[in-house]
Chains A and B, each alone.
Chain A
Amino acid sequence: SQQGEEDPQALSIQEGENATMNCSYKTSINNLQWYRQNSGRGLVHLILIRSNEREKHSGRLRVTLDTSKKSSSLLITASRAADTASYFCATGFNNAGNMLTFGGGTRLMVKP
Chain B
Amino acid sequence: KAGVTQTPRYLIKTRGQQVTLSCSPISGHRSVSWYQQTPGQGLQFLFEYFSETQRNKGNFPGRFSGRQFSNSRSEMNVSTLELGDSALYLCASSDWTGGNYGYTFGSGTRLTVV
A residues neighboring B (CB under 8 Å): 1-2, 30-31, 33, 35, 40-45, 47-48, 50, 88, 90, 92, 94, 96-105
Contacts and interface: CB of A to CB of B under 8 A. Distances in A.
A23 B56 CA distance: 24
A96 B55 contact: yes
The residue among A33, A90, A92, A98 with the most chain B CB atoms within 10 A of its own CB is A98
A96 B100 CA distance: 13
A19 to B, nearest CB: 20
A1 B44 CA distance: 7
B52 to A, nearest CB: 14
Interface string B21-45: 0000000000101010100001111
Contacts of B102: 33, 45, 47-48
Contact of A42 (B45, B50, B99, B108): B108
Q: Among B31, B33, B100, which residue has the most Cβ atoms of chain A within 10 A?
A: B100
A98 B33 contact: yes
Contact of B45 (A40, A96, A99): A99
Nearest to B53: A97
B70 interface: no
B110 A101 contact: no
B78 interface: no
B45 A97 contact: no
B42 A42 contact: no
The 3 closest A-B pairs by CB, nearest first: A97-B55, A45-B102, A102-B43
Contact of B98 (A35, A41, A98): A98
B90 interface: yes
B75 interface: no
A94 B50 contact: no
Nearest to A40: B88
Contact of B33 (A1, A40, A88, A100): A100
